[in-house]
Amino acid sequence: MYKRYIGQIINYSLEKEISSLDDINITNGLSGITLLLIKYYQVYKCDSVLNSLVILSERIDSTYAKFDISVDFYTGHLGIAYMFALLSTITDDACNEKRVETILSKLDFDQPLSSSDVLGGHSGVLLGLIKLNEIYSHGIELNEILVKIFRSAKFDNVSNGIIFDKRPNQLKEYCGFAHGVSGVAYVLAVYSKNSCNVDLYKFIHRCLKYENHYLKTYELWPDFRAFPIADLEGAISRYFDTGKDGISSHVSWCNGFSGIGINRIFLYKLFGDKELFEDIELVRKNISKYIYKQTDLSVCCGLGSMMLFLLVDFLILDNSRSKIILEEIFFSKFLQKKVDSCTDYSMFYGLSGILYIYLYFLEGGADNNFLFYDHHNHRYENKTILYEDLMIKLKYPDLYAQMVSQQMIDSKISFREFFHTIQHNESFNSGLYLGKKKDFHLRKSVYYNSEIYAEEILCKHLAECIEKGGLSKIIVKIELKINERMFIDKGVQSTYLEVVNIYSSNKFAISNQLFSIIKLFNSDLTITDFIKKTELNDKLLIASFIKNQILIPVKSEANRLTINKVFGGMDDLLNVIESH
């Protein structure tokens, strides 16, 4: 029933003026329309469409080099390369593969990007290269791009989850697919599935903890782009008031529940977690509630977002209810009126996106769908090497240490298992201070409290990694606080995490780094030796730590003495905190 629109789209694409990269990329431009026409040809084998594809590809090929080269998949030249590669699968003309080679030769994957986002950031580049590799073997190393994503990872101390880019003047890191945590986690899962030797499950799970922390608070995942700090509560109220205009943002693929739902479907198919299925059920419920209320047609932000979720739910989870809703929508006057009045033909914001979903729905398959990853393409197998080992291989030791430590804390792996790991893993032992075997003999009392001893090893390891890693101006010596009540029979005295020998002109950078390290172990921190001078800057820094509950001064006599020395007593300290 939608065939008659293909002619309109072809005429538009052959006549469209090309003045910027947006005019030819996947998101807004001709490459996105080309992907629709390729799918249309695959379904209907229409020669006139194939002829139009040849002309359209020549238009794109003759213009893309005029614009600054962008490595992004959805908005840049990597997506154009993917389009040419897919076009080469339906034609005998070798020129399309040559076009792919030419574009890839121009792409600089060391080019700095402003974020780790799926749309415009490092995750999008990684996803694009994985998708491209399904149809064109490019041989480009993916690990360096993965490092950039990990480098932007930060522990969020409110949710105990992982977040990525902190944008200026932003209240919170975004939830969502295009610009949020869900999209990055999705791409990491795709990478993990494609790789024969890396398992990122725990890291991905911690990303989702951030989003679901706010799900519990607001009953849906909030789009933090819409929340001005000055009127946060008012913004939240308006945002979830379905009688007002805020509805379009939180149903969306880009930063709403439709994109998050696609993330959860893919991860549920991979990992089978009950919590993921509960999230999917929540999205299904809200789709039914909002789908006939949408005025925006687009795949990015409107009705198309929810239709894309329903398609993924049907194709990947075989949900018959989603299939029924899609059938009703596609053959409804509700959609027909919107399609008839649509004047935007692009993939993400117009008619092409709706028709693209329709063709995949008719075909009942998901091969080479750039909007989501086909889980059938690769069989998920148990991985043999954990992501901690990948961190060593990627030469990023400080994050490696954090990941190792966090896994130990999360999984409460037995000390015997951990000990076996470090005995038989050369990459783990190589160049790292882990102590000698005799230091970790398996006495009964140690075994029963294995996670504490394991953390002690990992703290020392973390210190070594930080000293050798990229934090050249910060030398940290760490000792774990050992709970004396568990080891009283062995006469082990309680010690406290100490940070010494810190020197840098950038106090803010120090505070951020130490915040992550200390919070990771939830340990007490003495400030003896931390404060070398009792200047105002130091007082504010210490007050900042205490205000964020990083220091717990009342638990240690040494802390109390130092506070008296630096601040003159607790009252003065409280005054500094309040003024800060």
Can you say whether the dihedral through the CA atoms of 454, 456, 457, 463 is positive or negative?
positive
Q: Please, are residues 175 and 260 in contact by the beta-carbon 8 Å criterion?
A: yes
Round to whole Å and give the CA distance between 444 and 190. 42
Give CA torsion, residues 44, 46, 50, 51, to 10 deg. -170
Round to whole Å and give the CA distance between 103 and 124. 17
Q: Please, are residues 210 and 402 in contact by the beta-carbon 8 Å criterion?
A: no
The SS3 of residue 123 is helix
Q: Please, are residues 404 and 458 in contact by the beta-carbon 8 Å criterion?
A: yes
Residue 356 tokens read as 């693209």
Which of 361, 337, 335, 356 is CA-nearest to residue 345?
Answer: 356
Q: Using CB atoms within 10 A of its CB, is residue 297 exposed (0-12), middle (13-18) or buried (19+)?
A: buried
CB neighbour list of residue 151: distance below 8 Å, 6 or more residues apart:
396, 399
Q: Please, are residues 451 and 408 in contact by the beta-carbon 8 Å criterion?
A: yes
Residue 308 tokens read as 């894309």
Which of 209, 208, 207, 189 is CA-nearest to residue 199?
Answer: 189
Residue 254 annotated as binding?
yes
CA atoms within 13 A on the CB side of 188: 28
Q: Please, are residues 225 and 174 in contact by the beta-carbon 8 Å criterion?
A: yes
Give CA torsion, residues 309, 310, 314, 316, to 10 deg. 0
Residue 459 annotated as binding?
no
Round to whole Å and give the CA distance between 91 and 253. 32
Query: What beta strand segments (E) does 443-574 contain?
Result: none
Which of 98, 209, 210, 113 is CA-nearest to residue 152?
Answer: 113
Binding positions: 254, 300
Binding positions for Zn(2+): 254, 300
